[in-house]
Structure formats: structure tokens, C-alpha cells
């Protein structure tokens, strides 16, 4: 009889916990994104150009090195930062100089940034420089888009596809 009472008590406690978990999995409702807004996300990973030029070693330089270290051409590992600009309807939305990752600063630069904006017809301009140029940009793409409520509009960059891709 005592075991039956214990089992019934345990079943009652588990049922209460199950009901509590069930209730909080549906209530209160939570929306992490306003239903009357759109989202523009800029997200990509890109390696900037090498910071310096490659150097061709002379015969004398090669002879000073151990045989396993004798590479004719030596290029610097460090990469340049990637400069990014994103404009919406003529106003600056995002500007950053993305440093290369890694201890030797030889890894890719990364960006993942989201912006909540009002839906409607919008003009987006995305610019990027991955070289050591000081004025202007290496890549620039402009698009007229119509953003809908709750839409997530992605701004991506692919060098092999010629620059920015809007999805």
C-alpha cells in the first residue's frame, strides 16, 4: 500500500511539472521580431588582399636557408582589413573596417549585422574595399528593392560572382 501511495504521489508531481512545461512552451507568446518591420542582414566572410607584395629571393638568400626552407617566392601572410559600407535610401546604415582574423592576421574578415527597417520600396547601396586603395571602393552594387513586413533581406558578398549578391 505504501508503494502504491508513493507511485501515485510521484505520478502527481510529474503530471504537475508536465503541465507547467506544457503551459510555458505555448504561453506567454513571444515574438522576437516586430510584425510590421523588415530586416536587412549583411553577412559574409572574406579575405582581404595580402598586405605586402611577394618577394623573389636571390640565389644568395636561398643558399643561406636550410634546404627545406628554400622557396623561391615569399609572400607576406598578413591580410589587409576589409572596408564595408551599406547605405539605405541615401543614408549610411553601416560602416566598418573589418580586421583579419587569426594570430598572424592572415584569416578572413567576418561581418554579421542585422538592421530593422520599415518595409516598402527602398534603395540599397553596398560598397566594399579589400585592397590598399585609400579612396573609392573596389566593389559597389546598387539595388531598388521592395521590402515586405517580416522579410529578411540578405546582403552577401562573393568575389567569385563579381561582388555583392542581394537575396
Q: With contact defined as beta carbons under 8 Å apart, do 108 and 154 qualify? A: no
- More confident of the two residues 137 and 27: 137
One of 2.60.40, 3.30.1360, 3.90.1750, 1.10.8 is the CATH number of 38-49+80-166, namely 2.60.40
What does the pLDDT average to over 47-71? 91
Residue ranges covered by each domain of the chain: 1-30, 38-49+80-166
- More confident of the two residues 111 and 76: 111
C-alpha cell at 12: 502527481
Minimal CA–CA distance to 145: which of 118, 111, 113, 112? 118
Amino acid at each position: 500500500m505504501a508503494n502504491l501511495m508513493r507511485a501515485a504521489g510521484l505520478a502527481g508531481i510529474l503530471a504537475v511539472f508536465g503541465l507547467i512545461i506544457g503551459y510555458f512552451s505555448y504561453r506567454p507568446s513571444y515574438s522576437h521580431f516586430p510584425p510590421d518591420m523588415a530586416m536587412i542582414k549583411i553577412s559574409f566572410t572574406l579575405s582581404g588582399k595580402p598586405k605586402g607584395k611577394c618577394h623573389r629571393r636571390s640565389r644568395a638568400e636561398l643558399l643561406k636557408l636550410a634546404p627545406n626552407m628554400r622557396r623561391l617566392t615569399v609572400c607576406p601572410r598578413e591580410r589587409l582589413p576589409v572596408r564595408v559600407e551599406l547605405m539605405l535610401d541615401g543614408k549610411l546604415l553601416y560602416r566598418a573596417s573589418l580586421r583579419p582574423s587569426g594570430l598572424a592576421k592572415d584569416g578572413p574578415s567576418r561581418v554579421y549585422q542585422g538592421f530593422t527597417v520599415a518595409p516598402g520600396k527602398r534603395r540599397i547601396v553596398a560598397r566594399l574595399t579589400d585592397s590598399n586603395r585609400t579612396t573609392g571602393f573596389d566593389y559597389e552594387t546598387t539595388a531598388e528593392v521592395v521590402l515586405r513586413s517580416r522579410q529578411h533581406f540578405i546582403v552577401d558578398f562573393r568575389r567569385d560572382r563579381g561582388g555583392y549578391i542581394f537575396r
